[in-house]
Amino acid sequence: MAAPRKWGEELKSQATRSALSARRNAVTKTGAIERIADQLCINPEALRNSFARPRMIP
């Protein structure tokens, strides 16, 4: 049996979209993942790992 998710798909999707948007902008690119993870109270590595897995983001 798999462990329960620590953060839901909606939060993960929001965080990923925010980080992608921030990383596109040269001014906000540096530290975008850490900053957004801190704002959403999630682990930066969990957010960073969401980029490692290809997926469709609506």
- Over 70: is that where the pLDDT of 7 sits? yes
pLDDT value of residue 41? 87
pTM above 0.75, yes or no: no
CB-count burial class (<10 Å; 0-12, 13-18, 19+) for 56: exposed
d(CA 37, CA 16): 10
Domain residue ranges in the chain: 9-52
Looking at every residue in the chain, the average pLDDT score rounds to 79
